[in-house]
Structure 1
Amino acid sequence: MTGRYPADVDVAIVGSGPTGAAYARILSERAPGATIAMFEVGPTVSDPPGAHVKNISDPDERAKAQARSEGPFASEGGERVGGIVKTAQRRARPGTFLLEQGYQVEGEDGLPVAAFSSNVGGMAAHWTGACPRPNDGERIGFLDERGVFDELLDEGDRLLGVTSTAFDSSPHASLVRERLAAVEDDGREPHERVQRMPLAVHRRDDGRLVWSGSDVVMGDATRENPNFRLFDESLVTRVLRSEGRAAGVSVTDLRTGESHEVRARFVVVAADALRTPQLLWASGIRPEALGRYLNDQAQIVFAVRIRDFVPAPEEEGAGPAGLSEYSGVTWVPFTDDLPFHGQVMQLDASPVKLAEDDPAAPGSIVGLGLFCAKDLQASDRVEFSEDAVDGYGLPAMTVHYTLTDRDHAVIDRAKTEIVRLGKAIGEPLDDRPFMMPLGASLHYQGSTRMGVQDDGTSVVSPDSEVWGAPGLFLGGNGVIPTATACNPTLTSVALAVAGARRIAADLASSPE
């Protein structure tokens, strides 16, 4: 799946995360004769390519895979910043690297821990796998009006391999859900009540859990497609156009330093919510809304010890990546009345280390997280320099980002709510909840947002095609036009399905 770049293809895909993988999968299923080249700036760190690093059982090999994902200056090892999250210190999670400059402008809140991953599979090699559905104001109204949103979300579930039963054997999962439901479910619609978190994870025949990465999204349909090729360590520096239409990409082979042009009938840019607008800007494609309406999810965290905890008689032992089954992952859905999305997770399922587990009673401590929906503003944006460059040689970023009075009010409510939920489960480990530094959610959205018309407030159409640049499609969380509090991956994959279907239909109607 690697080798010399082709001179031309039908579709060039920039980025190998879950949305780029979704484009490849749908095209492989619906247009199997189309030639597809996927370009990823980072290396292949797992086998199969794009697999989640949690599935690497050897901890040293897993750490190497994470370290190799950490950007243009990544290494095989080196000193890692770990420890319990207690301060506002800037730190990157394993498998990610921070925006080194431009993350905060004086007088603004900024995104101090804005971060990226560079590897085959993108952030899906490191994520928690949570795939809740958007609710109430999180939903995309114009897709609901067309009657397509839920069907697209169903397709997203299929591609990601989403289940809700992976942790059903966890001895304390039902106890956590029951205690939360007792204080939270009153007055909620059935689909809004406390429930199992939908997760992109499945159980093998031997009982071990396997977490979905881009490998699952691509599936056999893509891997067995002789017309699909994946090129890692390949930096796309420009989208090419001819008479205004997307015509291919300029790509540099990071192994040799040589640059090439690959012509394409369609181009999909699915980097992430910061690097996708960066590439468009570098290509001279600059819609008015490009980089604007940037939004993150303020994240409030808290840890408690389960009340009246009774250890399981016999633990089965750790699964892949040292994950044992204790209390699983529970979901408290977002509503307009309570504008935050809740996750309650056993400690070793969470990427954020909130406490040390109790060696005498493993599994007795759970972490709670509430994610808050942002008050959207066009002024929250990422700008790009005409002169300065980043570690990849692309235009340097500056983030402008400010919390509004409404944001502060929602955060204050979330701090009160998370203590109430935590006390329903057990005894708090700390007196007060902690707000993670902005950017910690890694759920950046809105910078290439979708809209129904080219009115300066959106970048792409409902099919994810860039206004004024036919043949150029975008993927990723940046396309989501609403302020979500839930994990956005399922939604962004669903939107990628619509874009891929549109390309497949165009290929069928105008074959060459």
Structure 2
Amino acid sequence: MTGRYPDAVDVVIVGSGPTGAAYARILSEEAPGASIALFEVGPTVSNPPGAHVKNIADPELRAAAQDRSEGPGAGAATVSSPGAVTAGLRRARPGTYLLEEGYQEAGEDGLPVAAFSSNVGGMGAHWTGACPRPGDSERIAFLPELDELLDEADRLLGVTTDAFDGAPFTALVRERLGAVVDGGRPPERRVQRMPLAVHRRDDGRLVWSGSDVVFGDETRANPDFALYDESLVTRVLQEEGRAAGVEVRDRRTGELHTVRAPFVVVAADALRTPQVLFASGIRPPALGRMLNDQTQVVYATRIRDAESVATAEVAAGADDVGADQVIDGAISERSGVSWVPYTDAMPFHGQVMQLDASPIPLADDDPVVPGSIVGLGLFCAKDLQWDDRVEFSDDQRDWYGMPAMRLHYTLTDRDRAVIERAQAEIVELAKAVGDPIGDRPFTMPLGASLHYQGSTRVGETDDGRSVCGPDSEVWGVPGLFVAGNGVIPTATACNPTLTSVALAVKGARRIASELSGTERLLTSNSDVILK
């Protein structure tokens, strides 16, 4: 041991979000005895480590956890309510922080609200938990086992579709949406319950999945796994052309250490994973390229005849929809979450949430039946462009002393046409459900979806247009793997976490198979998850 770090392990994982946690879980299950060290730049903000902050019942403690997740942006004003998103202010959501500069180049659209989280669990401690499956051109055509990998990602994330079955109006909302959307669609792409990484405990309380759920008891009970928070991996080491470990800075002491390992997984995020590779001198032509996000159009509507529908539901034996409730963010106990799947013919993905307050202010004398305000969001797929990219500086440094980044990002004419179509479509959906609130939809600032992808994209062959192969191993650097939403190579509109975890499963299985035939470097690394 060097300080609190081991000298050598079998596998180093950089980043503790859902994909880093997936590598730890699969390796714990399929490579027993392999020693694993996971490094996270941010602090531990929840118990167990990596848990979703929504599971913190005390609002003050939850706010403190979010503040500690904001890294160098802690203390800055955030967008803290649904209504605030229409204010046009450049602010991050609680638990995240913005890129200070370099988010928009002259003459380009940029990603003005590109954001990060720095905490154990990463963005998985703050996300909505939506886990829809990709469809049509969103799917990765050269992975014949994709559906099995997605099934495994469902298992790791704890995905369910019934957690909100008791919410009022959910069947009605889906029925009204389906009436205008479902025609000509196959059954699996019709309006349906949103798959969510959330479950309901025996006592009825909702539990949101974070990295803690992905780690599972299998990882927590693994004596050869340890998680080190406040630990900045500055570069990946190489020997004879293959991964050989990492250089890590203890952010508590400032000391720099070397941890040797034949396998390294960089699972930061779609902006910081290529940053680590760049800092390591690993710079394939596609590194940082094909960066894409999902432009989000939002609107709200009020369910028609909500009071009479609620009265009928109560008369039929449903819970009193006017009962007191605990509000826990935008989605609460009274919420329903519906899904309008992406298709190539309708190139956006719909996330429809029944809210407990209107995202647009209502008159004081305008009573709201809980669950009757419906927020609609359409996420648009982006044209992939080689020049949409994150680039890094050899001279300038960011808050952590890593190469400073600049984002190049431009919407195409087709992108703008899809956004206009989404604006028109969301109005029709709002009218189908009820009475629209507000004059017109609002298009969120670019970067607001937090669904950045493509910067370390997987490819079928090493043709210079991808960073890694089908198993997520970086071309030309054996033993080095990348993970996270940046690995996704297709233009998607659906939430990407399920797909990125599926790809992590494939990569972890590859490492496990190689470890099964090699001698372990270190055993009994730790008997606790956090160091």
TM-score w.r.t. structure 2 length? 0.92
Corresponding position: 1:45 with 2:45: yes
Structure 1 position 119, deviation (Å)? 0.3
1-structure distance, mates of 2:417, 2:321:
45
Deviates more, 1:314-323 or 1:381-390: 314-323
Could you list the per-position Cα deviations for residues 318-363 of structure 1 after superposition, in whole angstroms to 9, with x for gaps in the alignment? Answer: 35736543341000000000000001012369xxx83358764232
1-structure distance, mates of 2:3, 2:346:
51
Matched letter for residue 220 of structure 1: D
Structure 1 position 172, deviation (Å)? 1.1
Could you list the per-position Cα deviations for residues 243-280 of structure 1 after superposition, in whole angstroms to 9, with x for gaps in the alignment? Answer: 11101111111111111000011000000000000000
Matched letter for residue 449 of structure 2: S
Partner of 1:487: 495
Partner of 2:325: 318
Partner of 2:118: 118
Q: Tell me the number of residue pairs that the alignment of Structure 1 and Structure 2 aligns.
A: 503
Partner of 1:510: 518
**Is the Cα–Cα contact under 8 Å of residues 132 and 494 in structure 2 kept in the other structure?**
yes
Gaps of 5+ in 2: 315-319, 521-531
Partner of 1:268: 265
Partner of 2:93: 93
**Is the Cα–Cα contact under 8 Å of residues 153 and 494 in structure 1 kept in the other structure?**
yes
Corresponding position: 1:244 with 2:241: yes
Structure 1 position 314, deviation (Å)? 4.9
Secondary structure (helix, strand or coil) at the match of 2:342 reads coil
Structure 1 position 15, deviation (Å)? 0.1
2-structure distance, mates of 1:55, 1:368:
25
**Is the Cα–Cα contact under 8 Å of residues 321 and 369 in structure 2 kept in the other structure?**
no
Corresponding position: 1:410 with 2:415: no
Matched letter for residue 378 of structure 2: L
**Is the Cα–Cα contact under 8 Å of residues 327 and 333 in structure 2 kept in the other structure?**
no
Corresponding position: 1:334 with 2:342: yes
TM-score w.r.t. structure 1 length? 0.95
Runs of 4+ deviating beyond 6 Å: none
From 159, 162, 169, the counterpart of 1:162: 159
Partner of 1:475: 483
Deviates more, 1:283-292 or 1:310-319: 310-319
Secondary structure (helix, strand or coil) at the match of 1:433 reads strand
Partner of 1:129: 129
1-structure distance, mates of 2:117, 2:225:
23
Secondary structure (helix, strand or coil) at the match of 2:439 reads coil
Secondary structure (helix, strand or coil) at the match of 1:432 reads strand
Partner of 1:394: 402
From 168, 172, 178, the counterpart of 1:171: 168
Corresponding position: 1:23 with 2:31: no
Secondary structure (helix, strand or coil) at the match of 2:262 reads strand
Secondary structure (helix, strand or coil) at the match of 2:197 reads strand
Matched letter for residue 19 of structure 1: T
1-structure distance, mates of 2:518, 2:53:
40
1-structure distance, mates of 2:335, 2:25:
33
Matched letter for residue 39 of structure 1: F
Specify whether residues 314 and 447 from structure 1 end up closer, same or farther in structure 2 by C-alpha distance, changes over 3 A only: closer
From 393, 407, 414, the counterpart of 1:385: 393
Specify whether residues 485 and 314 from structure 1 end up closer, same or farther in structure 2 by C-alpha distance, changes over 3 A only: closer
1-structure distance, mates of 2:283, 2:359:
41
Secondary structure (helix, strand or coil) at the match of 1:44 reads coil
Specify whether residues 359 and 276 from structure 1 end up closer, same or farther in structure 2 by C-alpha distance, changes over 3 A only: farther
Matched letter for residue 247 of structure 2: S
Could you list the per-position Cα deviations for residues 297-334 of structure 1 after superposition, in whole angstroms to 9, with x for gaps in the alignment? Answer: 01000011111112463555435736543341000000
**Is the Cα–Cα contact under 8 Å of residues 299 and 430 in structure 2 kept in the other structure?**
yes
**Is the Cα–Cα contact under 8 Å of residues 78 and 91 in structure 2 kept in the other structure?**
no
Specify whether residues 152 and 385 from structure 1 end up closer, same or farther in structure 2 by C-alpha distance, changes over 3 A only: same
Matched letter for residue 294 of structure 2: Q
> Share of identical aligned residues, percent?
73
1-structure distance, mates of 2:31, 2:361:
50
Structure 1 position 89, deviation (Å)? 2.0
From 287, 297, 300, the counterpart of 1:300: 297
Secondary structure (helix, strand or coil) at the match of 1:487 reads coil
1-structure distance, mates of 2:191, 2:3:
49
Aligned runs of 1:72-83 on 2, under 5 Å? 72-74=72-74, 80-82=78-80
1-structure distance, mates of 2:434, 2:441:
14
2-structure distance, mates of 1:268, 1:190:
38
Structure 1 position 421, deviation (Å)? 0.4
From 374, 398, 404, the counterpart of 2:382: 374
Deviates more, 1:109-118 or 1:310-319: 310-319
**Is the Cα–Cα contact under 8 Å of residues 316 and 324 in structure 1 kept in the other structure?**
no
Structure 1 position 71, deviation (Å)? 1.6
2-structure distance, mates of 1:381, 1:202:
37
**Is the Cα–Cα contact under 8 Å of residues 173 and 326 in structure 1 kept in the other structure?**
no
Structure 1 position 224, deviation (Å)? 0.5
Corresponding position: 1:205 with 2:202: yes
CA RMSD of aligned residues (A): 1.7
2-structure distance, mates of 1:96, 1:378:
28
**Is the Cα–Cα contact under 8 Å of residues 190 and 340 in structure 2 kept in the other structure?**
yes
**Is the Cα–Cα contact under 8 Å of residues 343 and 368 in structure 1 kept in the other structure?**
yes
Gaps of 5+ in 1: none
Deviates more, 1:421-430 or 1:484-493: 421-430
